Structure 1
Amino acid sequence: MTEPRHTADTITDDALDVLYSRLAKAVRAVDILADSHRRADRAEAERDGAYRERARLVAHLASLYPSHIGHTDPTAPDWAVVIIEAPTGQMSWHIAERDMDLFAHVEPTNRICRGWDGHTTDEKYERLAQLIRGEGHTLFRVEHAEAAVARVRALLDTHLGPLASYAVRRALDGSTKAGTEETNSPMSGER
Structure 2
Amino acid sequence: MDNTGADPFSDLEKPKGPSPFAVGFDRSSGEPMVYGGLFMGGLLVVASIAGDMPVMALLALAPLAVAFWHYPMLDRRVPQLGANADGLFVERIGFIDWASIRKFELRRTAVRNIQLARLEVSLTRPLADAVSGPEIFPVWKKVMMRNWSARREADGTDTLVIRLDTLDANPEQVLDRVRSFRNV
- With normalisation by structure 2, the TM-score equals 0.28
Higher strand share: 2
Structure having the higher Rg: 1
Specify which structure has the bigger relative contact order, considering alpha-carbon pairs within 8 angstroms and separated by 6 or more residues: 2
Structure with the higher fraction of residues in helix conformation: 1
TM-score by length of structure 1 reads 0.27
